[in-house]
Amino acid sequence: MPTREIQNMKKKLLILNGPGLSDLSVYDEFYGKLSLQKIEEKSQAVCDELNLDLDFRQTDDEDELFGFLLKDSEKFDAVIINPVGYSHALTAEFARYRLAIKTLTLQKKPVTEVHIANIFKQGSDITKPLQVPEGEMGFVSGLGVYSYVIAINAISKKLNKLA
């Protein structure tokens, strides 16, 4: 069926939100009152416009998070991840995160890390380096829900270039 063919051509995007992101009431309201549902709705609207098939997930379970990244990654053409603190703390989770991202980038899948707030503003020690994984990866921090919007726009453009 033609409609099915068109659906099959849609590129699949996974947006993955890490632990704690179900409650966004702690965030500054510069970009308006935030909730994960609002982020999902906005992401869905942008994906609809760009003809992307969106799978939007959040988990508080670390094992599940890395499972989504490693086991399910085959099903997706690109990934946007909000890894909360995993990307900027030298912890065991960071090592796992780094490995998962490396696996994705080795498959040449566009990956972009997003943060709602500007993570460089949070610490007072500005000379402390940010720990991020290897591989090619986009990074957007501090634009609230628009961090996701810009990441989706950039990934769509990248997928079109790869096609």
Partner 1 sequence: MKVYVINGPNINLLGTREPEIYGYETLDDISEKCIEIGKKKGIDVKFMQSNYEGDLVSWIQDAIKNKIDAIVINAAAYTHTSIAIHDAFKSFSGFKVELHISNPHLRESFRHVTYVGPAADAVVAGLGADGYSHVIDLLPDLPIKVN
Chain residues binding partner 1 by CB under 8 A are 30-32, 112, 118-121, 123, 126-143, 146-147, 149-150, 153-154, 157-158
Nearer to partner 1, 95 or 120 (CB): 120
Q: Measured from the CB atom, is 17 or 112 closer to partner 1?
A: 112
What does residue 58 show for φ and ψ, rounded to 5 degrees?
Answer: -140, 140
Residues in the chain: 163
Distances (CA, A) of 78 to 22, 114, 118: 22, 14, 23
Residue 7, Cα to own-chain centre: how many angstroms? Answer: 23
Least distance in angstroms from the C-beta of 36 to partner 1: 20
CB 120 to partner 1: min, Å: 3
Contacts of 23 (CB under 8 A, 6+ apart): none
Q: How far is the CB of 148 from partner 1 (least distance, A)?
A: 11
The residue (of 70 and 117) whose beta carbon lies closer to partner 1 is 117
